[in-house]
Structure 1
């Protein structure tokens, strides 16, 4: 099994090593999520469709097999604390592991799993495969091929060094941003945003990118207090036009 980082959306943001792995697989496997609200006329899962396009370009003889993704609890009452959120995600991992295991048991062979960005950054594929290994039903030899992360693309598009001279950079999620800022950091990369929780950081500077590498790629930079309305408008536009939005940003005090 190859866990293949495929970049943040651009069809050519994939390494030669990753292309060879995709071409060598008997089939590829990916989750299929339900259609987003208000996405009339768009594919059931635009991100699955994007993977199909990528395989068509780099490994046209390899079929992408879709596995319906188990629903995940997202209510605020069930995910209000870090502990609650972690519990919900672990339950979802268990359900996804069972679905993937069944799909692979029905289709023996070498499998490629195309992972958005890089498998090492806020992606659960390796954790799910470890659960399958622990069950002992399938003999998995897992190889990981790194990809171009959204963090790298953000830095390249804005022509940035992500930390100041001799400085540090903290990588976190939108869910934990306020906690990290309260801890005193002053240079933060933020991923996995349900919103932009930066209203009270008006004097900070932001470099933001949405749907990096895709045709809808959008960049904004400036003082948070000046650009925040535009950022929120761009997020909604990307979601409406493409059926999905993935954004990442650097905040600097």
Structure 2
């Protein structure tokens, strides 16, 4: 039976890699990469560094093209489901063609595979079709959420209180009920600006040499975050940022 590892590699710092992840990389025969275009080449480069540092000399690397998708769809859930289905077809073809019987393949996932990543769902979709068989194991990684809290030297929750992890799209619809502390990911619309009284701990490219950190009351630092964020996105061609929004 072919085996696949889904390996969380951390938020961007090579030192985020856990011993468990390093050992899984060392057992891998074939690494699968999805090309997202030149603008995200730096994300691929970290994966190459980790493969070189911990992988077998005989390792193979195969690359597929990540399907494009509409980033501002009218039907968000339907668009994402369609994109995942098309992505699963690309991934299935790579596994079928390049992973031999009794070999081990790996996907190196940015951050942690359990948090806003599609790899697990895609592998489950492939298995559900019943045409390509394998077993898989998930190796957790340091997420941008935990790295953000560490960089800002803060906890995610206050004493005895819950917190929620959500997206910028959902925050734009309103502050989540029942919590005063909200971690926000995938925020292309900078929804924090609607809460000037809240305190924000913001970070972009966390763990990389391009890391940017800012914090303060939104009314005082919000405009500067927007300016810095726009400049960084223009400079790099992409941005990954996360923030903790806190009120009360």
Partner of 2:27: 24
Contact 1:31-1:68 within 8 A present in 2 as well = yes
1:166 has 2:160 as partner = yes
Q: Matched residue of 2:231: which SS? A: helix
- Partner Cα distance (1:234, 1:63) in 2: 39
Q: Matched residue of 2:194: which SS? A: coil
Question: Runs of 5+ in structure 1 lacking a partner?
Answer: 37-43
Partner of 1:240: 234
Which one of 146, 159, 169 corresponds to residue 152 of structure 1? Answer: 146
Question: Scaled by the length of structure 2, what TM-score is found?
Answer: 0.91
Q: Matched residue of 1:12: which SS? A: helix
Question: Runs of 5+ in structure 2 lacking a partner?
Answer: none
Contact 2:145-2:242 within 8 A present in 1 as well = yes
RMSD: 1.6
Bigger shift: 242-251 or 7-16? 242-251
Q: In the TM superposition, what is the alpha-carbon distance from 1:180 to its structure 2 partner?
A: 4.6
Which one of 50, 68, 73 corresponds to residue 71 of structure 1? Answer: 68
Q: Matched residue of 2:32: which SS? A: strand
Q: In the TM superposition, what is the alpha-carbon distance from 1:118 to its structure 2 partner?
A: 0.4
- Partner Cα distance (2:136, 2:188) in 1: 31
Question: Scaled by the length of structure 1, what TM-score is found?
Answer: 0.89
1:92 has 2:86 as partner = no
Aligned residues: 240
Q: Matched residue of 1:181: which SS? A: coil
- Partner Cα distance (2:135, 2:176) in 1: 42
Q: Matched residue of 1:142: which SS? A: strand
- Partner Cα distance (1:157, 1:164) in 2: 17
Which one of 12, 21, 26 corresponds to residue 9 of structure 1? Answer: 12
Contact 1:30-1:64 within 8 A present in 2 as well = yes
Q: In the TM superposition, what is the alpha-carbon distance from 1:31 to its structure 2 partner?
A: 1.1
